[in-house]
Structure 1
Amino acid sequence: MGGVLRVEPLWVETFTGLRMRRFEGLVKVVRERGGDGSGGGRPWCLPLAERVLLVAVYYRTNLTMRQLAPLFGVSTATVCRVVRRLGPLPALEPVRSSAPGVERLWSVDGTLVPVRDRTVGASSRNYRFSANVQVVVDADTRLVVAAARPAPGNRADAHVRRASDLPARCANAKVLADGAHINTGLAVPHRRRPGRPLLRAQEEGNAEHRRVRARIEHTFARMKNDKILRDCRQKGDGPHHAVQAVAHMHNPAQTG
Protein backbone atom coordinates (compact mmCIF):
# COMPACT_ATOMS: atom_id res chain seq x y z
CA MET A 1 0.00 0.00 0.00
CA GLY A 2 1.35 3.43 -0.94
CA GLY A 3 1.87 6.14 1.63
CA VAL A 4 0.04 9.44 1.99
CA LEU A 5 3.02 11.76 2.47
CA ARG A 6 5.27 12.50 -0.49
CA VAL A 7 8.05 14.97 -1.15
CA GLU A 8 5.77 17.71 -2.40
CA PRO A 9 5.85 21.42 -1.46
CA LEU A 10 2.63 21.19 0.57
CA TRP A 11 3.79 18.33 2.78
CA VAL A 12 7.38 19.56 3.03
CA GLU A 13 6.43 23.08 4.11
CA THR A 14 3.75 21.80 6.50
CA PHE A 15 5.86 19.22 8.29
CA THR A 16 9.32 20.78 8.20
CA GLY A 17 8.69 24.52 8.11
CA LEU A 18 11.16 24.68 5.20
CA ARG A 19 10.72 25.95 1.68
CA MET A 20 11.26 23.28 -0.94
CA ARG A 21 14.72 24.54 -1.92
CA ARG A 22 15.77 24.59 1.73
CA PHE A 23 14.52 21.04 2.17
CA GLU A 24 16.53 19.99 -0.87
CA GLY A 25 19.57 21.49 0.83
CA LEU A 26 18.82 19.40 3.93
CA VAL A 27 18.59 16.26 1.78
CA LYS A 28 21.94 17.16 0.22
CA VAL A 29 23.55 17.48 3.67
CA VAL A 30 22.19 14.08 4.73
CA ARG A 31 23.43 12.52 1.48
CA GLU A 32 26.92 14.00 1.93
CA ARG A 33 27.04 12.57 5.44
CA GLY A 34 26.39 9.04 4.18
CA GLY A 35 22.62 8.88 4.51
CA ASP A 36 22.09 7.44 1.02
CA GLY A 37 23.97 4.22 1.71
CA SER A 38 22.15 0.98 2.39
CA GLY A 39 24.51 0.12 5.22
CA GLY A 40 25.39 -3.23 3.67
CA GLY A 41 21.87 -4.65 3.83
CA ARG A 42 18.98 -4.65 1.39
CA PRO A 43 18.08 -1.38 -0.37
CA TRP A 44 15.71 1.07 1.29
CA CYS A 45 12.10 0.90 0.15
CA LEU A 46 11.86 4.72 0.30
CA PRO A 47 14.03 7.17 -1.65
CA LEU A 48 16.36 9.38 0.40
CA ALA A 49 14.17 12.50 0.17
CA GLU A 50 11.19 10.63 1.62
CA ARG A 51 13.34 9.16 4.38
CA VAL A 52 14.52 12.66 5.32
CA LEU A 53 10.90 13.83 5.26
CA LEU A 54 9.95 10.92 7.51
CA VAL A 55 12.57 11.96 10.07
CA ALA A 56 11.43 15.59 9.85
CA VAL A 57 7.80 14.56 10.35
CA TYR A 58 8.82 12.43 13.32
CA TYR A 59 10.57 15.37 14.97
CA ARG A 60 7.85 17.86 14.03
CA THR A 61 4.80 15.87 15.13
CA ASN A 62 6.25 13.42 17.68
CA LEU A 63 3.93 10.75 16.31
CA THR A 64 4.76 7.21 17.28
CA MET A 65 6.48 4.98 14.75
CA ARG A 66 3.34 2.88 14.52
CA GLN A 67 1.40 6.02 13.53
CA LEU A 68 4.02 7.13 10.99
CA ALA A 69 4.20 3.78 9.19
CA PRO A 70 0.85 4.02 7.29
CA LEU A 71 1.53 7.67 6.40
CA PHE A 72 4.58 6.59 4.41
CA GLY A 73 3.31 3.16 3.36
CA VAL A 74 6.03 1.21 5.18
CA SER A 75 6.28 -1.06 8.18
CA THR A 76 6.88 0.11 11.73
CA ALA A 77 10.27 -1.64 11.66
CA THR A 78 11.27 0.37 8.58
CA VAL A 79 10.32 3.64 10.30
CA CYS A 80 12.45 2.62 13.28
CA ARG A 81 15.43 1.83 11.05
CA VAL A 82 15.10 5.11 9.14
CA VAL A 83 14.96 7.18 12.34
CA ARG A 84 17.94 5.35 13.82
CA ARG A 85 19.99 5.64 10.63
CA LEU A 86 19.18 9.20 9.58
CA GLY A 87 18.25 10.77 12.93
CA PRO A 88 21.84 11.77 13.82
CA LEU A 89 22.75 13.06 10.33
CA PRO A 90 20.94 16.44 10.18
CA ALA A 91 23.11 17.66 13.07
CA LEU A 92 23.82 21.37 13.44
CA GLU A 93 26.76 22.61 11.43
CA PRO A 94 29.58 23.77 13.75
CA VAL A 95 30.14 27.53 13.68
CA ARG A 96 33.68 28.79 13.76
CA SER A 97 34.69 31.29 16.39
CA SER A 98 35.20 34.87 15.31
CA ALA A 99 38.62 36.03 14.24
CA PRO A 100 40.47 38.20 16.78
CA GLY A 101 39.21 41.78 16.57
CA VAL A 102 35.84 40.79 15.08
CA GLU A 103 33.21 40.73 17.81
CA ARG A 104 30.01 38.73 17.59
CA LEU A 105 27.09 39.21 19.91
CA TRP A 106 25.67 35.88 21.02
CA SER A 107 23.24 34.85 23.74
CA VAL A 108 23.21 31.65 25.78
CA ASP A 109 20.50 30.10 27.90
CA GLY A 110 19.14 26.74 28.90
CA THR A 111 15.78 25.18 28.17
CA LEU A 112 14.19 22.11 29.70
CA VAL A 113 13.28 19.26 27.34
CA PRO A 114 10.98 16.63 28.89
CA VAL A 115 12.48 13.17 28.34
CA ARG A 116 11.52 9.60 29.12
CA ASP A 117 15.06 8.22 29.57
CA ARG A 118 15.98 8.48 33.25
CA THR A 119 19.67 8.18 32.46
CA VAL A 120 19.47 11.49 30.56
CA GLY A 121 17.02 13.60 32.59
CA ALA A 122 16.09 14.37 36.17
CA SER A 123 13.13 15.74 38.09
CA SER A 124 13.19 19.46 37.29
CA ARG A 125 11.59 22.77 38.17
CA ASN A 126 8.99 22.31 35.41
CA TYR A 127 7.62 19.42 37.50
CA ARG A 128 8.59 16.92 34.82
CA PHE A 129 11.48 14.57 34.18
CA SER A 130 13.60 16.77 31.91
CA ALA A 131 17.03 17.44 30.43
CA ASN A 132 18.78 20.81 30.48
CA VAL A 133 19.86 21.85 26.97
CA GLN A 134 22.17 24.85 26.67
CA VAL A 135 21.78 26.73 23.39
CA VAL A 136 23.77 29.62 21.90
CA VAL A 137 21.97 31.98 19.53
CA ASP A 138 23.34 34.79 17.38
CA ALA A 139 21.64 37.91 18.74
CA ASP A 140 21.63 39.64 15.34
CA THR A 141 20.41 36.84 13.05
CA ARG A 142 18.59 34.73 15.68
CA LEU A 143 20.23 31.63 14.24
CA VAL A 144 21.31 28.78 16.52
CA VAL A 145 25.09 28.76 16.78
CA ALA A 146 25.55 25.71 18.99
CA ALA A 147 23.63 23.35 21.25
CA ALA A 148 25.30 21.40 24.05
CA ARG A 149 24.65 17.78 24.86
CA PRO A 150 21.64 17.46 27.21
CA ALA A 151 22.38 17.26 30.93
CA PRO A 152 20.05 16.31 33.82
CA GLY A 153 17.47 19.04 34.30
CA ASN A 154 18.22 19.58 38.00
CA ARG A 155 21.68 21.00 37.25
CA ALA A 156 22.32 24.73 37.23
CA ASP A 157 22.73 26.45 33.87
CA ALA A 158 26.21 27.72 34.69
CA HIS A 159 27.40 24.24 35.68
CA VAL A 160 25.98 22.64 32.52
CA ARG A 161 27.61 25.28 30.33
CA ARG A 162 31.03 24.89 31.98
CA ALA A 163 30.90 21.11 31.55
CA SER A 164 30.07 21.41 27.83
CA ASP A 165 32.08 22.50 24.80
CA LEU A 166 30.25 25.83 24.58
CA PRO A 167 32.99 27.94 26.27
CA ALA A 168 35.47 26.89 23.58
CA ARG A 169 33.01 27.63 20.79
CA CYS A 170 32.28 31.08 22.19
CA ALA A 171 35.90 32.01 22.82
CA ASN A 172 36.00 35.13 20.62
CA ALA A 173 32.39 36.29 20.99
CA LYS A 174 30.60 38.52 23.47
CA VAL A 175 27.97 36.29 25.08
CA LEU A 176 24.95 37.58 26.96
CA ALA A 177 23.47 35.46 29.74
CA ASP A 178 21.03 35.79 32.61
CA GLY A 179 21.81 36.16 36.30
CA ALA A 180 22.25 32.39 36.69
CA HIS A 181 25.59 32.71 34.87
CA ILE A 182 27.18 35.17 37.28
CA ASN A 183 30.97 34.81 37.73
CA THR A 184 31.30 32.84 34.48
CA GLY A 185 32.88 35.60 32.40
CA LEU A 186 29.68 36.21 30.46
CA ALA A 187 27.80 39.51 30.19
CA VAL A 188 25.05 39.37 32.83
CA PRO A 189 22.64 42.04 34.13
CA HIS A 190 23.68 44.41 36.91
CA ARG A 191 22.54 43.13 40.29
CA ARG A 192 20.67 45.11 42.87
CA ARG A 193 22.27 44.99 46.31
CA PRO A 194 20.71 45.95 49.67
CA GLY A 195 21.01 49.69 50.21
CA ARG A 196 22.69 50.22 46.82
CA PRO A 197 20.13 51.03 44.12
CA LEU A 198 21.22 50.76 40.54
CA LEU A 199 22.34 53.86 38.70
CA ARG A 200 20.26 55.11 35.81
CA ALA A 201 22.87 53.93 33.30
CA GLN A 202 22.80 50.46 34.87
CA GLU A 203 19.00 50.34 34.69
CA GLU A 204 19.14 51.29 31.03
CA GLY A 205 21.84 48.69 30.44
CA ASN A 206 19.67 46.01 32.05
CA ALA A 207 16.70 47.01 29.89
CA GLU A 208 18.78 46.70 26.72
CA HIS A 209 20.19 43.39 27.98
CA ARG A 210 16.67 42.02 28.47
CA ARG A 211 15.58 43.24 25.05
CA VAL A 212 18.42 41.42 23.29
CA ARG A 213 18.19 38.27 25.39
CA ALA A 214 14.46 37.97 24.64
CA ARG A 215 15.49 36.77 21.19
CA ILE A 216 16.78 33.47 22.55
CA GLU A 217 13.42 32.86 24.26
CA HIS A 218 11.74 33.47 20.89
CA THR A 219 14.13 30.94 19.36
CA PHE A 220 13.23 28.34 21.99
CA ALA A 221 9.54 28.89 21.24
CA ARG A 222 10.10 28.33 17.52
CA MET A 223 12.26 25.26 18.07
CA LYS A 224 9.58 23.75 20.29
CA ASN A 225 7.13 23.87 17.41
CA ASP A 226 8.83 20.53 16.79
CA LYS A 227 6.96 18.51 19.38
CA ILE A 228 9.86 16.09 19.92
CA LEU A 229 11.24 18.81 22.24
CA ARG A 230 8.03 18.79 24.30
CA ASP A 231 8.11 15.07 25.12
CA CYS A 232 11.14 13.20 23.81
CA ARG A 233 10.69 9.43 23.87
CA GLN A 234 14.16 8.74 22.47
CA LYS A 235 16.76 7.05 24.64
CA GLY A 236 20.52 7.44 24.98
CA ASP A 237 21.82 9.91 22.41
CA GLY A 238 18.33 10.30 20.92
CA PRO A 239 17.50 13.59 22.72
CA HIS A 240 20.86 15.03 21.65
CA HIS A 241 20.28 14.06 18.00
CA ALA A 242 16.76 15.52 18.17
CA VAL A 243 17.98 18.88 19.49
CA GLN A 244 20.73 19.04 16.88
CA ALA A 245 18.37 18.21 14.01
CA VAL A 246 15.70 20.66 15.16
CA ALA A 247 18.32 23.41 15.47
CA HIS A 248 19.63 22.58 12.00
CA MET A 249 16.14 22.83 10.51
CA HIS A 250 15.37 26.01 12.46
CA ASN A 251 18.20 28.00 10.87
CA PRO A 252 17.17 27.78 7.19
CA ALA A 253 13.51 28.21 8.21
CA GLN A 254 14.51 31.43 9.99
CA THR A 255 16.32 32.77 6.95
CA GLY A 256 13.48 31.82 4.61
Structure 2
Amino acid sequence: MGGVLKAEALWVETFTGLRIRQFERLLKVVRERGGDGPGRGRPWCLPLADRVMLVAVYYRTNLTMRQLAPLFGCSPATVCRVIQRLGPLLAIEPAPRSGDATDRLWIVDGTLIPVRDRNVGASSRNYRFSANVQVIIDADTRLVIATARPVPGNTADAKAWRDSGLAGVCQGVTVLGDGAYINTGLVVPHRKRPARPLLPGEESDNAEHRRVRARVEHAFARMKHYKILRDCRQRGNGLHHAVQAVATLHNHALAT
Protein backbone atom coordinates (compact mmCIF):
# COMPACT_ATOMS: atom_id res chain seq x y z
CA MET A 1 0.00 0.00 0.00
CA GLY A 2 1.41 3.38 -0.99
CA GLY A 3 1.66 6.18 1.54
CA VAL A 4 0.00 9.58 1.37
CA LEU A 5 2.85 11.66 2.81
CA LYS A 6 6.13 12.06 0.94
CA ALA A 7 9.13 14.30 1.53
CA GLU A 8 7.85 16.91 -0.91
CA ALA A 9 7.67 20.66 -0.38
CA LEU A 10 3.91 20.83 0.28
CA TRP A 11 3.83 17.98 2.78
CA VAL A 12 7.08 18.98 4.48
CA GLU A 13 5.97 22.54 5.10
CA THR A 14 2.46 21.51 6.16
CA PHE A 15 3.30 18.68 8.54
CA THR A 16 6.75 19.48 9.94
CA GLY A 17 6.78 23.27 10.31
CA LEU A 18 9.99 23.45 8.24
CA ARG A 19 10.53 25.02 4.85
CA ILE A 20 11.97 22.68 2.27
CA ARG A 21 15.47 24.26 2.48
CA GLN A 22 15.45 23.81 6.25
CA PHE A 23 14.30 20.22 5.88
CA GLU A 24 17.09 19.52 3.40
CA ARG A 25 19.66 20.83 5.89
CA LEU A 26 18.13 18.59 8.57
CA LEU A 27 18.28 15.63 6.19
CA LYS A 28 21.96 16.33 5.55
CA VAL A 29 22.69 16.30 9.30
CA VAL A 30 20.93 12.95 9.74
CA ARG A 31 22.75 11.44 6.76
CA GLU A 32 26.13 12.61 8.09
CA ARG A 33 25.33 10.99 11.44
CA GLY A 34 24.73 7.62 9.83
CA GLY A 35 21.00 7.77 9.19
CA ASP A 36 21.34 5.52 6.16
CA GLY A 37 22.49 2.75 8.47
CA PRO A 38 25.41 0.34 8.23
CA GLY A 39 24.18 -0.96 4.88
CA ARG A 40 23.70 -4.50 6.11
CA GLY A 41 20.54 -6.51 6.54
CA ARG A 42 17.09 -5.88 5.16
CA PRO A 43 16.76 -2.46 3.51
CA TRP A 44 14.23 0.09 4.76
CA CYS A 45 10.95 0.23 2.89
CA LEU A 46 11.12 4.05 2.97
CA PRO A 47 13.89 6.30 1.64
CA LEU A 48 15.83 8.34 4.20
CA ALA A 49 14.00 11.58 3.36
CA ASP A 50 10.62 9.96 4.06
CA ARG A 51 11.93 8.41 7.28
CA VAL A 52 13.20 11.76 8.55
CA MET A 53 9.87 13.31 7.65
CA LEU A 54 8.07 10.50 9.49
CA VAL A 55 9.99 11.28 12.70
CA ALA A 56 9.41 15.02 12.32
CA VAL A 57 5.68 14.47 11.74
CA TYR A 58 5.52 12.19 14.77
CA TYR A 59 7.05 14.85 17.01
CA ARG A 60 4.98 17.61 15.44
CA THR A 61 1.56 15.92 15.57
CA ASN A 62 1.99 13.28 18.32
CA LEU A 63 -0.10 10.86 16.26
CA THR A 64 0.08 7.25 17.33
CA MET A 65 2.17 4.80 15.32
CA ARG A 66 -0.99 3.09 14.08
CA GLN A 67 -2.19 6.45 12.75
CA LEU A 68 1.13 7.26 11.08
CA ALA A 69 1.54 3.86 9.41
CA PRO A 70 -1.12 4.29 6.65
CA LEU A 71 0.03 7.86 6.01
CA PHE A 72 3.48 6.58 5.05
CA GLY A 73 2.41 3.24 3.59
CA CYS A 74 4.19 1.02 6.09
CA SER A 75 3.42 -1.02 9.19
CA PRO A 76 3.22 0.34 12.77
CA ALA A 77 6.25 -1.81 13.60
CA THR A 78 8.24 -0.05 10.88
CA VAL A 79 7.15 3.35 12.22
CA CYS A 80 8.37 2.31 15.68
CA ARG A 81 11.73 1.16 14.32
CA VAL A 82 12.22 4.35 12.30
CA ILE A 83 11.52 6.56 15.32
CA GLN A 84 13.82 4.52 17.56
CA ARG A 85 16.58 4.57 14.95
CA LEU A 86 16.42 8.20 13.77
CA GLY A 87 15.12 9.97 16.88
CA PRO A 88 18.53 9.98 18.64
CA LEU A 89 20.22 11.16 15.41
CA LEU A 90 18.18 14.37 15.53
CA ALA A 91 19.76 15.36 18.85
CA ILE A 92 20.85 18.97 19.13
CA GLU A 93 24.52 19.56 18.38
CA PRO A 94 26.86 20.68 21.20
CA ALA A 95 26.99 24.43 21.72
CA PRO A 96 29.72 26.08 19.62
CA ARG A 97 32.63 27.45 21.64
CA SER A 98 34.62 30.51 20.70
CA GLY A 99 37.59 32.27 22.19
CA ASP A 100 35.64 35.26 23.55
CA ALA A 101 32.39 34.49 25.35
CA THR A 102 32.05 37.74 27.27
CA ASP A 103 29.60 39.25 24.79
CA ARG A 104 27.21 36.29 24.87
CA LEU A 105 24.06 36.10 26.96
CA TRP A 106 22.20 32.86 27.55
CA ILE A 107 18.98 32.15 29.45
CA VAL A 108 18.08 28.99 31.35
CA ASP A 109 14.72 27.79 32.59
CA GLY A 110 12.90 24.57 33.29
CA THR A 111 9.70 23.46 31.60
CA LEU A 112 7.27 20.75 32.70
CA ILE A 113 6.44 18.11 30.09
CA PRO A 114 3.56 15.67 30.79
CA VAL A 115 4.75 12.07 30.51
CA ARG A 116 3.23 8.60 30.81
CA ASP A 117 6.39 6.89 32.13
CA ARG A 118 6.18 6.77 35.93
CA ASN A 119 9.93 6.20 36.14
CA VAL A 120 10.60 9.58 34.51
CA GLY A 121 7.85 11.88 35.81
CA ALA A 122 6.19 12.80 39.08
CA SER A 123 3.06 14.61 40.19
CA SER A 124 3.90 18.27 39.61
CA ARG A 125 2.64 21.78 40.15
CA ASN A 126 0.86 21.72 36.79
CA TYR A 127 -1.43 19.06 38.31
CA ARG A 128 -0.16 16.45 35.89
CA PHE A 129 2.41 13.67 35.93
CA SER A 130 5.35 15.54 34.40
CA ALA A 131 9.10 15.75 33.97
CA ASN A 132 11.26 18.84 34.47
CA VAL A 133 13.59 19.61 31.54
CA GLN A 134 16.23 22.33 31.80
CA VAL A 135 16.80 24.27 28.57
CA ILE A 136 19.38 26.93 27.67
CA ILE A 137 18.72 29.39 24.83
CA ASP A 138 20.75 32.20 23.32
CA ALA A 139 19.15 35.52 24.20
CA ASP A 140 20.02 37.10 20.84
CA THR A 141 19.26 34.33 18.36
CA ARG A 142 16.60 32.47 20.42
CA LEU A 143 18.30 29.22 19.38
CA VAL A 144 18.40 26.35 21.86
CA ILE A 145 21.97 25.83 23.07
CA ALA A 146 21.52 22.69 25.18
CA THR A 147 18.95 20.64 27.05
CA ALA A 148 19.35 18.42 30.10
CA ARG A 149 18.05 14.96 30.77
CA PRO A 150 14.53 15.00 32.23
CA VAL A 151 14.11 14.75 36.00
CA PRO A 152 10.87 14.24 37.96
CA GLY A 153 8.60 17.24 37.71
CA ASN A 154 8.58 17.88 41.47
CA THR A 155 12.34 18.62 41.38
CA ALA A 156 13.17 22.26 42.11
CA ASP A 157 14.77 24.14 39.23
CA ALA A 158 17.90 24.93 41.26
CA LYS A 159 18.51 21.25 42.05
CA ALA A 160 17.68 20.19 38.50
CA TRP A 161 20.22 22.73 37.24
CA ARG A 162 22.96 21.60 39.64
CA ASP A 163 22.43 17.95 38.71
CA SER A 164 22.11 18.57 34.97
CA GLY A 165 25.77 19.14 34.14
CA LEU A 166 24.83 22.13 31.98
CA ALA A 167 27.00 24.46 34.05
CA GLY A 168 30.02 23.05 32.20
CA VAL A 169 28.49 24.15 28.89
CA CYS A 170 28.16 27.71 30.20
CA GLN A 171 31.79 28.33 31.19
CA GLY A 172 32.60 31.99 30.55
CA VAL A 173 29.06 32.90 29.46
CA THR A 174 26.63 35.12 31.36
CA VAL A 175 23.48 33.09 32.07
CA LEU A 176 20.17 34.51 33.30
CA GLY A 177 17.75 32.57 35.48
CA ASP A 178 14.62 33.42 37.42
CA GLY A 179 14.33 33.62 41.20
CA ALA A 180 14.23 29.83 41.48
CA TYR A 181 17.97 29.69 40.63
CA ILE A 182 19.24 31.62 43.65
CA ASN A 183 22.69 30.52 44.90
CA THR A 184 23.48 28.68 41.68
CA GLY A 185 25.88 31.24 40.23
CA LEU A 186 23.39 32.47 37.63
CA VAL A 187 22.24 36.08 37.25
CA VAL A 188 18.90 36.22 39.09
CA PRO A 189 16.56 39.08 40.03
CA HIS A 190 17.07 41.11 43.19
CA ARG A 191 15.07 39.67 46.07
CA LYS A 192 12.67 41.64 48.21
CA ARG A 193 13.45 40.89 51.85
CA PRO A 194 11.43 41.60 55.02
CA ALA A 195 11.72 45.25 56.11
CA ARG A 196 13.93 45.94 53.07
CA PRO A 197 12.08 47.09 49.96
CA LEU A 198 13.79 47.07 46.59
CA LEU A 199 15.78 50.17 45.72
CA PRO A 200 14.76 52.13 42.59
CA GLY A 201 17.81 50.84 40.71
CA GLU A 202 17.03 47.27 41.70
CA GLU A 203 13.43 47.60 40.50
CA SER A 204 14.59 48.77 37.08
CA ASP A 205 17.16 45.93 36.98
CA ASN A 206 14.40 43.41 37.71
CA ALA A 207 12.18 44.89 35.01
CA GLU A 208 14.97 44.55 32.43
CA HIS A 209 15.74 41.04 33.69
CA ARG A 210 12.10 40.01 33.19
CA ARG A 211 12.01 41.56 29.73
CA VAL A 212 15.05 39.61 28.54
CA ARG A 213 14.23 36.38 30.36
CA ALA A 214 10.79 36.26 28.74
CA ARG A 215 12.54 35.11 25.56
CA VAL A 216 13.01 31.63 27.00
CA GLU A 217 9.26 31.41 27.64
CA HIS A 218 8.65 32.36 24.01
CA ALA A 219 11.08 29.62 22.95
CA PHE A 220 9.17 27.08 25.06
CA ALA A 221 5.91 28.15 23.42
CA ARG A 222 7.41 27.59 19.95
CA MET A 223 8.94 24.26 20.93
CA LYS A 224 5.59 23.07 22.24
CA HIS A 225 4.10 23.50 18.80
CA TYR A 226 5.60 20.02 18.55
CA LYS A 227 2.86 18.21 20.41
CA ILE A 228 5.12 15.43 21.66
CA LEU A 229 6.07 17.96 24.39
CA ARG A 230 2.45 18.27 25.49
CA ASP A 231 1.90 14.58 26.22
CA CYS A 232 4.88 12.29 25.71
CA ARG A 233 3.98 8.61 25.46
CA GLN A 234 7.59 7.51 25.01
CA ARG A 235 9.30 5.51 27.75
CA GLY A 236 12.85 5.32 28.99
CA ASN A 237 15.09 7.67 27.00
CA GLY A 238 12.21 8.52 24.65
CA LEU A 239 11.44 11.87 26.27
CA HIS A 240 15.11 12.90 26.30
CA HIS A 241 15.45 12.02 22.61
CA ALA A 242 12.20 13.85 21.83
CA VAL A 243 13.31 17.05 23.60
CA GLN A 244 16.70 16.97 21.86
CA ALA A 245 15.09 16.36 18.48
CA VAL A 246 12.51 19.11 18.98
CA ALA A 247 15.34 21.48 19.93
CA THR A 248 17.04 20.64 16.63
CA LEU A 249 13.78 21.10 14.67
CA HIS A 250 13.17 24.39 16.51
CA ASN A 251 16.64 25.66 15.59
CA HIS A 252 16.23 24.64 11.94
CA ALA A 253 12.84 26.38 11.85
CA LEU A 254 14.46 29.63 13.01
CA ALA A 255 17.24 29.35 10.43
CA THR A 256 16.87 31.43 7.31
CA distance in 1, matches of 2:23, 2:237: 24
Q: What's the TM-score once normalised by structure 1's chain length?
A: 0.97
Of 218-227 and 33-42, deviating more is 33-42
Where does the alignment leave 5 or more consecutive residues of structure 1 unmatched? none
Distance 2:15 2:133 in 1: 24
Shift of 1:153: 0.6
Q: Is the 8 A contact 1:96 1:169 kept in 2?
A: no
Q: Taking every aligned residue pair, what percent have the same amino acid on both sides?
A: 73
Are 1:176 and 2:211 counterparts? Answer: no
Q: Say which is worse superposed, 90-99 or 67-76, in terms of deviation.
A: 90-99
1:67 aligned onto 2:67: yes
- Alignment-derived partner of residue 239 in structure 1: 239
Secondary structure at the residue paired with 1:193? coil
SS at match of 1:234: coil
For 1:79 and 1:86, the matched residues in 2 are separated by 11
Match of 1:108 in 2: 108
User: Does residue 84 of structure 2 align to residue 87 of structure 1?
Assistant: no
- Match of 1:32? 32
Q: Is the 8 A contact 1:98 1:173 kept in 2?
A: no
Distance 1:166 1:234 in 2: 24
> Deviation at 1:103?
3.0
List per-residue Cα deviations over 1:132-154 (Å, max 9, x = no partner).
Answer: 00000101111100000111111
1:157 equivalent in alignment to 2:157: yes
Residue aligning to 1:189: 189
Equivalent position of 2:18 in the other structure: 18
Counterparts of 1:100 and 1:126, CA distance in 2: 40
Give 1:43 deviation, angstroms.
0.3
Distance 1:100 1:182 in 2: 26
Q: What is the deviation of 1:38? A: 5.5
- How many residue pairs match? The answer is 256
Q: Distance in 2 between matches of 1:193 and 1:79?
A: 55
**Which structure 1 residue ranges, 4+ long, deviate > 4 Å from structure 2?**
none
Work out the CA distance in 1 between the residues paired with 2:100 and 2:34: 35
**SS of structure 2 residue aligned to 1:67:** helix
After TM superposition, the structure 1 = structure 2 runs for residues 42-61 of structure 1, keeping only pairs within 5 Å, are 42-61=42-61
- SS class of match (1:88): helix
Contact kept, 8 Å, 2:102 with 2:174, in 1: the verdict is no
Structure 2 gaps of 5+ residues are none
Hey, what's the Cα distance between the residues in 1 that align with 2:50 and 2:234? 21
Q: Is contact 1:176-1:213 (8 Å) kept?
A: yes
Q: Distance in 1 between matches of 2:219 and 2:149?
A: 18
Instruction: Report the TM-score, using the length of structure 2 for normalisation.
Output: 0.97
Contact 2:26/2:252 (CA < 8 Å) preserved in 1?
Answer: no
- Partner letter of residue 62 of structure 1? N
